[in-house]
Structure 1
């Protein structure tokens, strides 16, 4: 089994969620790249990860990484586990995502530029037109302090949508979901 984990804004590929994926799917090939700031460079990284898979991978994405998992699910018709995904990063990053930052785990410096929002908007539109909702599994915290997910259930009526109290934006119940999903995806 191949799994590609896509981290969120200001995060890194290797962290506690990647460790949890490897723990709960010990025989899987888990790729967890550090994503660059530029969306076109992110596309190159993810395409390379997909090319390294021996079978269609399971995409797992959190926040901005959830958006990229959403995009690649549509592009390649892949199953995706989306944790508090940012489905409108071209809007939500406009007010607080422009500038120079350092990632939480590794302190990797990067510059997220306003120009990237246009690219993300185009990616969103492209994904919306090609999306197979049955491939999407949404795991949402009803106390997400960063993103509002209230419209997801009505927009994705054919997707699996599950709410979790007390998980916050970082989705502290990640391992709980992996335990639940293990049976469904471990035997692919």
Structure 2
């Protein structure tokens, strides 16, 4: 059986050095598990095509599980259905084309503090990507205290997902490190099922 590889996709204006990415990276290093967390381009079509190219290159050698947070959760779910991969979504945005309208303008990147322009065209390009229900194994990590997104939207959008719903918390998913072993076990099991 091919080894498991976890790919983490970060949220809007974040990077591959996001806090959850670093927690996953450290856990995977400790357990000798392959892991990558690319810093994605701002443009949605470039972000998705870059991950699709990575998947094309790595799928012959690895069983892949996708983990995505916020906008990265939407990306992970879309890419999972395209490549038939299991995924874990952490406080994901459900309708980014609409939700990110309010970000239009000059945005500060969380990690390097550089500014970039987010445009109506970026939002429109997100509308081209559709997510279907019940097509791939999916685990949903939600916290009711998410101050950025209404957790109920993701709960309604992914009724087929294995749900972990916690009271309180925040958009960054407080206490994420507690969920890493379960998250990895879910991806490992379903990636093995799909290979077999």
Q: TM-score range by the shorter chain?
A: 0.7 to 0.9
- State which of 173, 176, 185 in structure 2 corresponds to 1:174: 176
**Aligned mates of 2:97, 2:169 — CA distance in 1:** 24
Q: What secondary structure sits across from 2:111 in the alignment?
A: coil
* Aligned partners of 1:147 and 1:169 also within 8 Å: yes
**Aligned mates of 1:119, 1:21 — CA distance in 2:** 30
> Residue 31 of structure 1: CA displacement?
1.4
| Alignment match, 2:51 | 46
Q: What secondary structure sits across from 2:181 in the alignment?
A: helix
> Residue 14 of structure 1: CA displacement?
1.3
| Alignment match, 1:106 | 112
Unaligned runs of 5+ in 1: none
Q: How many aligned positions are there?
A: 183
| Alignment match, 1:6 | 9
Deviates more, 1:136-145 or 1:37-46: 37-46
**Aligned mates of 1:156, 1:18 — CA distance in 2:** 23
**Aligned mates of 2:168, 2:142 — CA distance in 1:** 10
| Alignment match, 2:66 | 59
> Residue 49 of structure 1: CA displacement?
2.2
Deviates more, 1:32-41 or 1:62-71: 32-41
**Aligned mates of 2:141, 2:124 — CA distance in 1:** 27
**Aligned mates of 2:186, 2:49 — CA distance in 1:** 29
Counterparts of residues 132-147 of structure 1 (less than 5 Å): 132-147=134-149
| Alignment match, 2:35 | 30
* Aligned partners of 2:91 and 2:154 also within 8 Å: no
Unaligned runs of 5+ in 2: none
* Aligned partners of 1:3 and 1:60 also within 8 Å: yes
* Aligned partners of 1:134 and 1:160 also within 8 Å: no
Q: TM-score, normalised by structure 2?
A: 0.84
1:20 matches 2:23: yes
**Aligned mates of 2:37, 2:57 — CA distance in 1:** 12
